[in-house]
Structures are given as C-alpha cells and as structure tokens.
Homo-oligomer: A and B are copies of this chain.
C-alpha cells in the first residue's frame, strides 16, 4: 500500500500536544468573548429565543471541566460550580465565570498528559450517555465550543460590539 493509513503507521498526523494546543487556543478565544460582553448582556441578551451567551459558555466550561477529569477518573458527576443547568447553576457573574474558566484550563493542563496515546482510541460513555472514542469525544467538545462561540459573535454584533478576530487564539 502506498498510504498505510492505519493506526500502525509511524507518523501521527496530529500529536497529543498539538491536539491540546488546539483546545487551549479555542478556550483562549472563547474567554476573550466572555470578557468583551457587557455583564448585563452576557447573562440576558438573546436572539430568537436562544440562551444568553453566559449559559452557552457555562455549558462549554462544564463539559470541559468535568470531562477532562472524568477521562482519567471515570467520574462524570457535575460539581455545583460546573453544573450548567440554568436552574441549578451557582455562577451569577462574569468574574465568577472567568475564574472558573481559568481553573478548568489549569485542570486541562494537569490532566491532559495523563491521557496515553492508546487511550485516545478507547471508547468512553461520557456523562452516562454519549459513547465515542476519546479523540472523537474531545473533538466534539471543541466543536461544540466553536459552534456556541460563533453564536456569541452574532450576539455581540447585534449589540454593536466588535468581537475578537476568529484566528486570535493567543
């Protein structure tokens, strides 16, 4: 075979470190969006009956924070801080949200190296219901973040606020 595109080739198309860098870059940009939202609109602005951006950001935060640890520990239960259910969430201010954002970034940095290359291929059942290989699960989390962040861009534009550039992940 000319292109042995199997898991047994000696070339990884993306390394775990590069995969992490993708996630961290997206989290950096999403954090900028949270920061730029005026406090009131972060928690209240809505278009077409959709959730305020704070609720979307809490979802992204909660999945990342619970998920990264659970990949190692197997414990998918939400903590009060990361429970993004609007009825139960205890996060009420932008400052609280940003502190938790940084805390979860630290958790990602701490737990990521404990995922072995082999583990990315293993199937997990996330949050008791979503079954997928770990590489795919993490991509889904990142994609969900990009999806909701894109929605945050529209919210900001509708408020007359210029969002950060899409490529600005530094």
A: residues with CB less than 8 A from B are 2-19, 22, 26, 47-50, 113, 116-118, 120-121, 135-136, 139-140, 143-144, 146-151, 153-160, 166-167
Given contacts A48-B159, A144-B166, A147-B166, contact A12 B18 (CB under 8 A): no
Is the beta-carbon distance between A148 and B147 smaller than 8 angstroms?
no
By a CB distance below 8 angstroms, the chain B residues around A151 are 150-151, 153-154
Contacting residues, chain B, for A48 (C-beta < 8 A) = 154, 156-160
Taking A7-B12, A48-B158 as contacts, is the C-beta distance between A18 and B150 under 8 angstroms?
no
Distance, CA A18 to CA B159, complexed state (A): 39
CB-based contact B157/A9 at 8 Å: no
Given known contacts A12-B9, A13-B16, A135-B14, A3 and B116 CB-to-CB distance under 8 angstroms: yes
User: Is the Cβ of B120 less than 8 Å from the Cβ of A3?
Assistant: no
Give Cα A2–Cα B15 distance, bound, in whole angstroms: 15
Residues of B within 8 A of A116 (CB): 2-3
A8 to B15 alpha-carbon distance, docked (Å): 10
Given A7-B11, A13-B120, 14 further pairs, Cβ under 8 A: A2-B116, A3-B16, A5-B117, A7-B12, A9-B117, A13-B14, A13-B19, A18-B136, A47-B47, A48-B154, A49-B157, A146-B147, A147-B149, A150-B153
